Amino acid sequence: MQDNVVVSVDLATRVDASLRVGEASEVVQVSGEAPVLKTDRSDVSIVFQDRVVSELPILNRRFTQFEILTPGVQAMSFQTAASEDPQGSYRKIVNGQHFAGTAHLLDGTDNHDAILGLIVVNPTLESVTEAKITTSNYEAEFGQAAAGVVSAHTRSGTNQLHGSLFHFHRNSAQFARNPFTQATPIAGTQNKFIPTSIWNQYGFSVGGPIRRNRLFYFGDY
């Protein structure tokens, strides 16, 4: 028997147990029941673990950017106005289906805007511990979906106080010029060839116990 079994969000986990040989016997059983058509999960999906979510170099640090990294998923050429989508989410096309057909779940609850087809709460990367994006053959429990299912699971507090402090910084000091699109100098840029691109994002997260083994808290900014 394995000592540690890794269980992922919305994913069946297989455990192979070793059994000792018992007494030899022979049993003949005749059954007239109808066979089961499907006995295991066979969805087409990709799972992003917590280390991938926190360490992949995503420029805008948005959770919905991971959806675009999934095979078969692409962002639409036009997006929702900032007044309707202040979090800057993406309208997505999954395997050519309509953008409104993608379902969003956050900790098992509905997180989908039925009109705009967007994720309602765009969780911060510090709060996401695991995410799964299913693009085909999802279970019947996701009956509202016609294109794909985006399921995210957030962190929780533990008996030990824990947290993080981060600052993501990016500038154009070491950017390379694209010889095909920047053959001529660009006026007003830092070195006449490379557009200036500066990104600063900082924040923190903290979690711990309110009552050990019973009640916990977690928050991030």
Amino acid residing at 168: F
**Across residues 100-119, what is the average pLDDT?**
85
* 146 and 60 assigned to the same domain: yes
**Across residues 201-216, what is the average pLDDT?**
92
Last residue of a domain, one of 116, 135, 154: 154
CATH number for 97:
2.170.130.10
SS3 12: coil
Band (pLDDT 50/70/90 cuts) for residue 70 is: confident
Q: What is the radius of gyration, based on Cα positions, of the chain?
A: 24
d(CA 221, CA 209): 19
pTM score, two decimals?
0.67
* 134 and 169 assigned to the same domain: no
* 108 and 67 assigned to the same domain: yes
* 132 and 167 assigned to the same domain: no
Tokens coding 148: 């794909």
Measured in whole angstroms, how far is the alpha carbon of residue 216 from the centre of its chain? 23
* 83 and 109 assigned to the same domain: yes
Band (pLDDT 50/70/90 cuts) for residue 38 is: very low
Measured in whole angstroms, how far is the alpha carbon of residue 178 from the centre of its chain? 31
**Residue 194 reports pLDDT greater than 70:** no
pLDDT of residue 216: 94
| Per-residue pLDDT reduced to its tens digit, 150-162 | 889 998 899 999 9
d(CA 160, CA 216): 10
Dihedral pair phi/psi, residue 102, rounded to 5°: -90, 125
Amino acid residing at 60: N
Residue 99 lies in a domain: yes
pLDDT of residue 134: 86
pLDDT of residue 91: 80
* 82 and 150 assigned to the same domain: yes
Amino acid residing at 107: D
pLDDT of residue 20: 80
* 90 and 181 assigned to the same domain: no
Name the residue with tokens 């794909």.
Answer: 148
Residue 90 lies in a domain: yes
Q: What is the DSSP string of 168-184?
A: EEE-STTPPP-TTT-SS
pLDDT of residue 26: 77
The parent domain of residue 170 ranges over 162-220
* 168 and 146 assigned to the same domain: no
Under a CB-based contact definition with an 8 Å cutoff, are residues 46 and 70 in contact?
Answer: yes
Band (pLDDT 50/70/90 cuts) for residue 144 is: low
* 96 and 175 assigned to the same domain: no
* 124 and 177 assigned to the same domain: no
Contacts of 57 (CB under 8 A, 6+ apart): none
Domain count, the chain: 2
Residue 67 lies in a domain: yes
**Residue 36 reports pLDDT greater than 70:** no
Residue 205 lies in a domain: yes
* 196 and 108 assigned to the same domain: no
**Across residues 21-33, what is the average pLDDT?**
74
**Across residues 176-192, what is the average pLDDT?**
66
**Residue 59 reports pLDDT greater than 80:** no
pLDDT of residue 45: 79
d(CA 104, CA 67): 11
Q: What is the DSSP string of 95-142?
A: TT--GGGEEEEETTEE-B-TTT--BSS---TTTEEEEEEEEES--GGG
**Residue 202 reports pLDDT greater than 60:** yes
DSSP 19: -
**Residue 103 reports pLDDT greater than 60:** yes
Residue 20 lies in a domain: no
